[in-house]
Chains A and B, each alone.
Chain A
Amino acid sequence: MTAQEIVTRIQQKLAADGIAWRTTTVDTFKAGRPESTVRGIATTGMATFDMLRRASAAGRNFVITHEPTFYNHLDQTEALASDATYLAKLRFIEDQGMIVWRFHDHAHMLRPDPLVTGSARTLGLTPYASPTERGIYTVPQTTLRALAADIARRVGGRFIRVCGDPEMKVTRIAMGPGYGVPPLTQAVDVSIGGEAPESGGHAEYALDAQALGRPRGVILLGHMMSEDWGMREAADWLRAFVTEVPIDWIAAGEPFGRRS
Chain B
Amino acid sequence: MSGHLSRRRFLWTAASAAVAAARAEAHQPPTLTVGAVIARMQENLGLPWREKSIDGLKAGSPDAIVTGIATTVMASADVLRRAAAAGRNLVFTQEPTFYNAVEDGGNRSSDAVYLAKKALVDERRLVVWRFSEHWNARKPNEPVGALANALGWSTYRLPDGDAIYKIPEMRLDAVLEHVRTRLHVRGGLRWIGRPDMPVRTVLLSPGTTDLPSTVARMPRADLLLAGEPREWEALPYVLDAGPQKAVVSVGRIVSLEPGAAACAAWIRSFTPEVPVETIAVGDPYWSAS
By a beta-carbon cutoff of 8 Å, the part of chain A in contact with chain B is: 46, 48-50, 67-68, 71-73, 79-80, 83-86, 89, 148-149, 151-152, 157-163, 166, 179, 183, 185-186, 194-195, 197-201, 203-209, 211-214, 216, 219-220, 222-224, 255-260
Closest 9 CB pairs of A and B: A260-B243, A148-B288, A223-B231, A211-B77, A161-B285, A49-B240, A199-B95, A160-B288, A203-B284
Name the interface residues of B224-258: CB closer than 8 Å to any CB of A: 228, 230-237, 239-243, 249, 251-253
Contacts of B236 in A (CB 8 A): 46, 48, 71, 255
Beyond A83-B219, A209-B113, 13 extra complex contacts between A and B, CB < 8 Å: A49-B242, A85-B240, A152-B289, A179-B232, A198-B251, A203-B253, A207-B76, A211-B76, A212-B112, A212-B116, A223-B232, A258-B193, A259-B195
Q: Does B78 contact A (CB under 8 A)?
A: yes
Contacts of B240 in A (CB 8 A): 48-50, 71, 85, 89
Q: Which residue of B lies closest to A147 (CB)?
A: B288
Say whether A255 contacts B192, CB under 8 Å.
yes
- With beta carbons under 8 angstroms apart, the residue of A85, A162, A195, A203 that contacts B230 is A195
Name the interface residues of B156-195: CB closer than 8 Å to any CB of A: 187-188, 190-195
9 A-B Cβ contacts within 8 A?
A71-B211, A71-B236, A161-B190, A205-B99, A205-B113, A207-B281, A208-B76, A214-B116, A257-B192
Q: Does B287 contact A (CB under 8 A)?
A: yes
CA distance A260 to B243 in the complex (A): 4
Say whether A84 contacts B289, CB under 8 Å.
no
Q: Which residue of A lies closest to B243 (CB)?
A: A260
Say whether B81 contacts A211, CB under 8 Å.
yes
Say whether A186 contacts B112, CB under 8 Å.
yes
Contacts of A149 in B (CB 8 A): 288
Contacts of B77 in A (CB 8 A): 207-208, 211-212
Say whether B232 contacts A255, CB under 8 Å.
no
Q: Does B123 contact A (CB under 8 A)?
A: no
Contacts of B231 in A (CB 8 A): 194-195, 222-224, 255
Q: Which residue of A lies closest to B97 (CB)?
A: A204
B219 vs chain A, min Cβ distance (A): 7
A-B pair count, CB < 8 Å, reads: 166
Say whether A162 contacts B285, CB under 8 Å.
yes
CA distance A158 to B187 in the complex (A): 11
B198 vs chain A, min Cβ distance (A): 14
Say whether A214 contacts B112, CB under 8 Å.
yes
B155 vs chain A, min Cβ distance (A): 30
Say whether A258 contacts B113, CB under 8 Å.
no
Q: Does B117 contact A (CB under 8 A)?
A: yes
Say whether B284 contacts A72, CB under 8 Å.
no
Contacts of A179 in B (CB 8 A): 230, 232
Say whether A212 contacts B113, CB under 8 Å.
yes
A206 vs chain B, min Cβ distance (A): 7
Say whether B289 contacts A157, CB under 8 Å.
yes
Say whether A197 contacts B190, CB under 8 Å.
no
Known: A199-B252, A212-B113, A214-B112. A151 touches B288 (CB 8 A): yes
Known: A72-B211, A204-B99, A255-B192. A260 touches B242 (CB 8 A): yes
Contacts of A201 in B (CB 8 A): 99-100, 108
